[in-house]
Amino acid sequence: MPERTEDDTTRAVAHLPGLDIAIEHRRSAGNDAEQISIHLQAMPSFEAFGRYLEAANPFAFWMKAAQLAWQPWLDATRSLATPDPGQTLPKAPQE
């Protein structure tokens, strides 16, 4: 929930895993201009995250991303292709 201060500054803060976000909105003294500030703080730092991405294997990353994207479809086709254990095949007509 945004909070207001005595100098008519509105501040909203969000805490996400590894990232803090603060947004401030204020008017100038003459009420003829507005200022919006957005502050981001990452833990670990953005630099450390960049080093992690540089060291990571991009092929492994894309393989994992593709696996996550296709997994629901593969599970659905697997469940359709596997026969129900309680179901039996129809018997051939006897001559």
What six digits make up the tokens of 66?
A: 């593709």
Tally of structural domains, the chain: 1
Please give the single-letter amino acid code of residue 47. Answer: E
pTM above the 0.85 mark? no
Residue 64 belongs to a domain: yes
Domain that holds residue 44: 3-79
Residue 51 belongs to a domain: yes
Distance CA 69, CA 79 (A): 17
Beta bridge partners of 20: 15, 41
The answer to whether 21 and 13 are in contact (CB under 8 A) is yes
The answer to whether 52 and 46 are in contact (CB under 8 A) is no
Q: What is the pLDDT of residues 15-69, one digit of tens each?
A: 887 888 899 998 877 778 898 999 988 887 778 777 776 777 778 778 888 888 8
Residue 72 belongs to a domain: yes
